[in-house]
Amino acid sequence: MKILVTGGAGFIGSNFIHYILAKYPDYQVVNFDKLTYAGNLDNLSEVAADPRYSFVRGDIADINQVKEVMAQGIEAVVNFAAETHVDRSIHLGAKEFVITNVWGVQNLLDAVREFKVSKMVQISTDEVYGSLQLGDNKYFTEDTPFQPNVPYAAAKAGGDLLCRAAWKTFALPVVVSHCSNNYGPYQFPEKLIPFFIMRASRGEKLPLYGDGQNVRDWLYVQDHCSAIDLMLQRGRPGEVYNIGGHNEMSNLNIAKIILQELKQPEELITFVADRPGHDRRYAIDASKIERELGWRPKYQFAEAIKETVRWYLNNQAWVDKLQTRQSEINQHLK
Query: Could you report the per-residue pLDDT of 292-305, keeping only the tens digit for each?
Result: 999 999 999 999 99
Catalytic site residue from 110, 126, 217, 279: 126
Query: Could you report the per-residue pLDDT of 98-155, keeping only the tens digit for each?
Result: 999 999 999 999 999 999 999 999 999 999 999 999 988 899 999 999 999 888 999 9
Catalytic site residue from 53, 129, 139, 152: 152
The pLDDT score that the predictor gives to residue 189 is 83
From the CB of residue 265, how many other CB atoms can be counted at a distance below 10 Å? 10
The pLDDT score that the predictor gives to residue 326 is 62
Written as one letter, the residue type at 286 is A
Active site residue 126: yes
Query: Could you report the per-residue pLDDT of 46-79, keeping only the tens digit for each?
Result: 999 999 999 999 999 999 999 999 999 999 999 9
Run of H or E including 54 = strand 53-57
Q: Is the pLDDT of residue 178 over 50?
A: yes
Q: How many helices (H) and strands (E) does the chain have?
A: 12, 12
pTM assigned to the model: 0.93
Catalytic site residue from 59, 127, 229, 248: 127
Per DSSP, the residues of 91-147 read HS-SHHHHIIIIIIHHHHHHHHHHTT-SEEEEEEEGGGG----TT----B-TTSPP-
Domains and CATH numbers, the chain: 2-186+218-246+282-300 (3.40.50.720)
The pLDDT score that the predictor gives to residue 186 is 95
Run of H or E including 1 = none
Active site residue 19: no
Query: Could you report the per-residue pLDDT of 8-32, keeping only the tens digit for each?
Result: 999 999 999 999 999 999 999 999 9
Active site residue 87: no
Average pLDDT value for residue range 216-241: 98
The pLDDT score that the predictor gives to residue 68 is 98
| CB distance 198 to 324 below 8 Å | no
Average pLDDT value for residue range 235-258: 96
- pLDDT band of residue 82 (cuts 50, 70, 90) is confident
End-to-end Cα spacing for the chain: 45
Q: Is the pLDDT of residue 86 over 80?
A: no
The pLDDT score that the predictor gives to residue 194 is 94
Q: Is the pLDDT of residue 334 over 60?
A: no
The pLDDT score that the predictor gives to residue 140 is 96
pLDDT above 90 covers a percentage of the chain that reads 84
Q: Is the pLDDT of residue 330 over 60?
A: no
Average pLDDT value for residue range 220-248: 97
The pLDDT score that the predictor gives to residue 333 is 42
Mean pLDDT of the chain: 93
The pLDDT score that the predictor gives to residue 94 is 82
Nearest 5°: the CA angle 244, 246, 249 is 105
